[in-house]
């Protein structure tokens, strides 16, 4: 089975392809554009280096070759070869198997999200009209969709015949735990990809409030770094604050737990029960982040225990050994 993953997906897509290859699946991770985190996919078209009027031609040439080379097309973040999705009909007529993998902004419909989450924000470019149109086109030719988590499933389940909730894969062997120890000046970090989406303003306000109250801790805002640099700072951290608006655990949450860190993240109330019982994330939202962070800073004896629980959680629910068969099962159903 030869599977092509496009057009973007970062480290989660790369880890997935590596794990599939270990199971005998000939999987290729292809990015259309290079990314600022310096993730190295198997193929990169590097469209950013080509004049805009020539990019379509390069995609068309790649598409023609891909039809010959691959059996299964695994689309990430709601994208395919072409913005208008005209490739779906061609692939369908060619008898190719397809699956769509929704991961976040490509599926998060604001009006639906607001019914359960007053804090949510979305990327401006992903309007409701665009998302609904995209989902309609994709589901016209694709029967199976993979949702990153139950928050994403909320938006896509009514479009596809079959929706599978499968967690992303973490290469836990590359992330060595560095559990926090009790200290007078612990390091708290927050690493947003987009401040508005992650609720960074509330994190900064909470940090300032606690420092004004005389609490002793160091804070670092991680921005503009590549993945290796970000991981280095996360490894040094004692506590990690992830996203406070979306309402579900992000990829950074999983990486931080793999590193043995206690993590604060907002989990939507109606989704809490969807997570396994041993899910160790400390739940906080924009309204109570200052109090939650204060309580965690005041209870250093539980930091290592949370870190150990987080590491064990990632190993059980996000390692390739325990997850990859779920992806392969979907391929067999296409």
The rounded percent of the chain whose pLDDT value lies above 70 is: 100
pLDDT above 90 covers a percentage of the chain that reads: 95
pLDDT for position 38: 78
pLDDT tens readout for residues 150-198: 999 999 999 999 999 999 999 999 999 999 999 999 999 999 988 999 9
User: What would the pLDDT profile of 295-321 be if each residue is shown by its tens digit?
Assistant: 999 999 999 999 999 999 999 999 999
Neighbours of 304 (CB within 10 A): 17
Res. 36 pLDDT band, cuts 50 70 90: confident
Chain segment 65-105, per-residue pLDDT in tens: 999 999 999 999 999 999 999 999 999 999 999 999 999 99
| 173-317 CATH choice from 3.30.160.100, 3.40.50.2000, 3.20.20.100, 3.40.309.10 | 3.40.50.2000
Computed over every residue of the chain, the mean pLDDT equals 96
Question: Start-end ranges of CATH 3.40.50.2000 in the chain?
Answer: 2-169+320-333, 173-317
CATH of domain 2-169+320-333: 3.40.50.2000
pLDDT attached to residue 297: 97
> What pTM does this model have?
0.94
Is the per-residue pLDDT at 37 higher than 80? no
64-81 CB burial, b ≥16 within 10 A, e <16: eebbeebebbbbbbbbbb
What is each CA distance from 41 to 10, 69, 172, 244, in whole angstroms? 8, 18, 19, 30
Supply the pLDDT for residue 193.
87
Query: Which pLDDT score, from 0 to 100, does residue 40 have?
Result: 86
């Amino acid at each position: 089975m030869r599977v092509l993953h496009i057009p973007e997906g970062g480290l989660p897509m790369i880890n997935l392809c590596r794990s599939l290859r270990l199971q005998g699946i000939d999987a290729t991770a292809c990015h259309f554009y290079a990314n600022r985190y310096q993730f190295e996919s198997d193929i990169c078209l590097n469209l950013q280096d080509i004049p805009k009027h020539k990019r379509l031609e390069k995609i068309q040439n790649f598409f023609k070759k891909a039809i010959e080379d691959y059996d299964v097309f695994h689309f990430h973040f709601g994208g395919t070869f072409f913005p208008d999705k005209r490739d779906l009909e061609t692939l369908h007529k060619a008898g190719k198997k397809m699956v769509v993998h929704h991961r976040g902004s490509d599926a998060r419909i604001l009006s639906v999200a607001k019914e359960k989450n007053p804090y949510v924000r979305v990327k401006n470019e992903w309007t409701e009209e665009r998302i609904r149109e995209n989902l309609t086109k994709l589901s016209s030719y694709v029967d199976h969709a993979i949702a990153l988590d139950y928050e994403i499933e909320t938006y896509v389940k009514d479009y596809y015949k079959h929706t599978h909730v499968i967690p992303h894969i973490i290469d836990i062997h590359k992330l060595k735990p560095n559990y926090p120890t009790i200290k007078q000046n612990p390091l708290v970090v927050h690493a947003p990809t987009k401040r508005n989406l992650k609720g960074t303003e509330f994190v900064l306000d909470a940090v300032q409030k606690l420092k004004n109250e005389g609490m002793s801790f160091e804070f670092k805002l991680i921005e503009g770094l590549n993945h290796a640099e970000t991981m280095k700072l996360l490894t040094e951290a004692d506590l990690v604050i992830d996203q406070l608006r979306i309402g579900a655990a992000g990829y950074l949450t999983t990486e931080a737990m793999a590193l043995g860190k206690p993590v604060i993240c907002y989990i939507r109330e109606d989704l809490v029960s969807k997570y396994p019982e041993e899910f160790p994330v400390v739940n906080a939202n924009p309204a109570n982040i200052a109090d939650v962070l204060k309580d965690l800073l005041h209870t250093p004896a539980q930091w290592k225990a949370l870190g150990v629980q987080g590491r064990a959680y990632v190993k059980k629910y996000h390692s390739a050994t325990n997850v990859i068969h779920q992806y392969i099962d979907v391929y067999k159903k296409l």
